[in-house]
């Protein structure tokens, strides 16, 4: 069974710098991808970038539905994102969240279609075309590999609100964990 790694949280430098391209398609990469899937499922996510478990490589995974509710699962190494031209672009203004900013969501308009070209874990070329949540996921995960979180695309005031709510959520969790530990030691 693959190791479940902790999710890297907002503020960690690995999330705020562009990731390095993958140059070796080997057993280490395959193990990383297995650990990424195990970590994503443990965190109840639908997508995960390698830097979200502390590995600064251009790899992301996904397991989420498209606009028709059809589930898609895969890995993209060294992705290149393609979006519809401005004249053909329709925005989906749905809420977005992130495992690296747990418990927080905000409306973020993104194109409702996206295509990513890259490679699978063996180095074979792949193309993933997404609509709905899958399109949002492809854009979100590619952003991670470029050193951006979804909150970086929010207006400054909304970003501050999300981060303040995240810090309050985190403080409440720490307080609850401390109280639980005190009860356990009695």
Distance CA 68, CA 38 (A): 26
Catalytic residue among 80, 96, 141, 167: 141
- 51 with 11: CB under 8 angstroms? no
E strand spans, the chain: 47-49, 59-65, 71-82, 91-92, 95-97, 105-107, 110-111, 113-119, 125-131
Extract the tokens encoding 87.
């004249």
Judge whether 141 counts as a catalytic residue: yes
Helix, strand, coil content of the chain in percent (nearest 5)? 40, 25, 35
Distance CA 64, CA 70 (A): 8
Residue 111 neighbours by CB under 8 Å, 6+ apart: 83, 84, 89, 90, 91, 92, 135, 139
Q: Which residues does the annotation mark as catalytic?
A: 141
């Amino acid at each position: 069974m693959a190791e479940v790694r902790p999710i890297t949280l907002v503020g960690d430098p690995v999330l705020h710098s562009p990731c390095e391209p993958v140059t070796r398609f080997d057993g280490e990469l395959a193990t990383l991808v297995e650990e990424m899937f195990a970590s994503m499922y443990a965190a109840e996510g639908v997508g995960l970038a390698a830097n979200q478990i502390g590995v600064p490589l251009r790899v992301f995974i996904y397991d989420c539905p498209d606009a028709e509710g059809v589930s898609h699962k895969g890995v993209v190494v060294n992705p290149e994102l393609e979006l519809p031209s401005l004249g053909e672009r329709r925005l989906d203004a749905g809420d977005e969240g992130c495992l690296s900013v747990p418990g927080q969501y905000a409306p973020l308009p993104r194109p409702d279609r996206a295509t990513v070209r890259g490679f699978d874990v063996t180095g074979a070329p792949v193309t993933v075309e997404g609509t709905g949540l899958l399109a949002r996921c492809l854009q979100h995960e590619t952003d991670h590999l470029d050193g951006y979180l979804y909150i970086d695309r929010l207006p400054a005031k909304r970003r501050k609100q999300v981060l303040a709510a995240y810090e309050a959520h985190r403080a409440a969790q720490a307080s609850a964990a401390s109280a639980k530990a005190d009860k356990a030691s009695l």
